[in-house]
Amino acid sequence: MYCNKPRLLKLAVAGVFLLTIAYVKPRAQTAQTKNPLQPTEINLALGLDHFDAHCASCHGRDGKAATEKGRAVRATDLTSEKLQAKSDAELFRAISRGVRGTAMPAFAKTHKPTEIWQIILFLRKLPTLTPDERVKLESAVPEGARHKRCRRLSKRKSQRNPSTSTKPPVSPPGRSTITLSRLRRPVR
């Protein structure tokens, strides 16, 4: 069989070039090795806000992964020396890409790089965070900047009226209502 060496060489070079671009381009976002943000109160507060909305269900509010869900998925203790020894770039990659083979999802598609860097600032603060500091940071989150999930929860809480929550739902005339947990369903 005849082999066209120059053509084969061109294909090999093109393949290596394409693989290099495919490997280097995703790393461009994480080329930053140190967190570009300063640990100001607002950056830490916004990091806390995102942490509470996305991370606390597995890692716990204190970051120790002592929640039922955290134990079930073997979440990492974010206050451990092993995790705190990782570079900012390593944490950025883990948060943005997720951790393969674990329950840790990727957040690059749902969070801006600045938001991920704010989460990292908060992760660095977690081991020494006191309850008073947490309360101060929670109150420092600007209302308009609150995470959407947090905003919805606080809106629901403010709309609840405890005096009416214990009363059974009122049915429209001519229909009866079956209540299954929080679902009301008309029956004919």
Strand, coil or helix: 149 = helix
Top-confidence residue, 104 or 149: 104
Residue pLDDT, tens place only, 86-108: 999 999 999 999 999 999 999 99
CA dist., res. 72 & res. 58, Å (int): 9
**Quick one: how many helices (H) and strands (E) in the chain?**
10, 2
pLDDT, mean over the chain? 78
What is the tally of structural domains in the chain?
1
Residue pLDDT, tens place only, 36-63: 999 999 999 999 999 999 999 999 999 9
10 is a domain residue: no
Element (H, E) at 114: helix 113-125
76 is a domain residue: yes
CA dist., res. 150 & res. 134, Å (int): 16
* CA dihedral over 154, 156, 159, 163, signed as positive or negative: negative
Predicted TM-score (pTM) of the model is: 0.63
Which pLDDT does position 133 carry in this prediction? 96
CA dist., res. 168 & res. 165, Å (int): 8
100 is a domain residue: yes
2 is a domain residue: no
22 is a domain residue: no
Which pLDDT does position 1 carry in this prediction? 53
Domain, as residue range, for 68: 38-141
Which pLDDT does position 165 carry in this prediction? 43
Q: How confident is the model at residue 168 (pLDDT cuts 50, 70, 90)?
A: very low
Q: What is the mean pLDDT of residues 14-18?
A: 64
156 is a domain residue: no
Is residue 146's pLDDT more than 60? yes
Which pLDDT does position 33 carry in this prediction? 80
Q: Say if CB 110 and CB 97 are below 8 A apart.
A: no
CA dist., res. 140 & res. 154, Å (int): 16
48 C-beta neighbours (distance < 10 Å), count: 27
At 32, the amino acid letter reads Q
Q: At what angle do helices 113-125 and 41-50 cross, to 10 degrees?
A: 100
Which pLDDT does position 60 carry in this prediction? 94
Dump the DSSP string for 63-96: SS--SHHHHHTT---TTSHHHHTS-HHHHHHHHH
182 is a domain residue: no
Which pLDDT does position 10 carry in this prediction? 72
Count how many residues are written for the chain: 188
Give the CATH number for residue 73. Answer: 1.10.760
107 is a domain residue: yes
Which pLDDT does position 156 carry in this prediction? 43
